[in-house]
Amino acid sequence: MVIYLTYAAIVSLFVDISPAIRFRAIGVNAAVIGAYFLLASRLGARPHAVWDVVRDWLPFALVLLCYREMGWFAPTEHTFELERSWIVWDRLLLNDWGARDVIESLGPLIPAYLEICYTLVYIFAPFAMAMIYIHGYRGEGSDRLLFIYLLGTLLSYALFPYFPSEPPRAVFPGEDVPRIDTVFRQFNWWILSGGGIHTSVFPSAHVSASFSAVFGMFLIMRRGRWAAWALTAVAVGIFWATIYGRYHYAVDSVAGLGVSLVALGVTLLVMRDQVQVEAPEPALAEAPD
């Protein structure tokens, strides 16, 4: 997190934003980094007290700050060059290959499921952390989850300034849209109307964050694997919701999945001496006659 905040402050020096926004980005990030180290120095001496819980849960709030901050780097206007090249693949997938027809083949059932999954992204990682606590993996397990989740999420955010773009629902309004509307879709549009940013949609942080959390769960959980499989079903729903609901282009979602695979690879590399499958207990040898 500290590395990302430092990176964002440096990026603010080079992107085309006003001096006031640049000053805000540097000031906010410096304040957050300072507060984080102050908390660590004050509470770090209590290894089994407040700091352990704060360290596990505080990053989820800071991720929201990182997302909103990337919105400060939005360009004053978009050329839509990237979007015009990306929409070709969406139309091939949704129209020519019939992905929309398949999703809508059961009426509102699958579209509603996809929109619900898209909504659940906001509690996805906290739920994963709660499962880590419930099943007794707090400590090393929570560290692993945070490492891969933050890496997958913040790496997507870090790429936003290099791919300035707007979502298909904004660039191509009324085109390639779902033929079935649901209350869940209306709810998601309401959230995005006030909470979206206009910097970039590439790669999809929704996809990279959710799959990074899923990969982390499978690396950690030996008990309670039902939770990891349940989150997998939601993550797959998020992937398709981003495309079908016109929140992202297909290339955004594929790139988001790619970012999560990079996060998985780095996690396995960094923690290769720790991530091991628990071997079954050896059978007791029979005593000789």
Query: Do 65 and 82 lie in a common domain?
Result: no
pLDDT digits (tens, 9 = 90+) for 99-114: 999 999 999 999 999 9
Query: Do 22 and 83 lie in a common domain?
Result: no
Query: Do 220 and 175 lie in a common domain?
Result: yes
Q: Which two tokens stand for residue 120?
A: 């659940």
- Contact between 117 and 241 under an 8 Å Cβ cutoff? The reply is yes
Query: Do 38 and 84 lie in a common domain?
Result: no
Query: Do 142 and 217 lie in a common domain?
Result: yes
Domain that holds residue 25: 1-73
pLDDT interval class at 168 (50, 70, 90) = very high
Please state, in angstroms and rounded to a whole number, the distance separating the CA atoms of residues 24 and 171.
29
Query: Do 163 and 123 lie in a common domain?
Result: yes
Query: Do 32 and 149 lie in a common domain?
Result: no
Element spanning 93, H or E: none
pLDDT digits (tens, 9 = 90+) for 7-56: 999 999 999 889 999 999 999 999 999 988 887 776 665 555 677 788 88
**Does pLDDT of 172 surpass 90?**
yes
**pLDDT score, position 213:** 97
- Tell me which range, 14-18, 35-39, 188-192, 202-206, is most confidently predicted by mean pLDDT: 202-206
pLDDT interval class at 1 (50, 70, 90) = confident
- Contact between 199 and 113 under an 8 Å Cβ cutoff? The reply is no
Query: Do 144 and 189 lie in a common domain?
Result: yes
Amino acid type, 119: T
DSSP code for 175 = S
Query: Do 128 and 206 lie in a common domain?
Result: yes
DSSP code for 161 = G
Which of 49, 73, 97 is the endpoint of a domain?
73
**Does pLDDT of 285 surpass 90?**
no
How much is the mean pLDDT over the chain?
A: 90
Q: Is the pTM of this model over 0.85?
A: yes
Total domains in the fold of the chain: 2
Which of 55, 73, 91 is the endpoint of a domain?
73
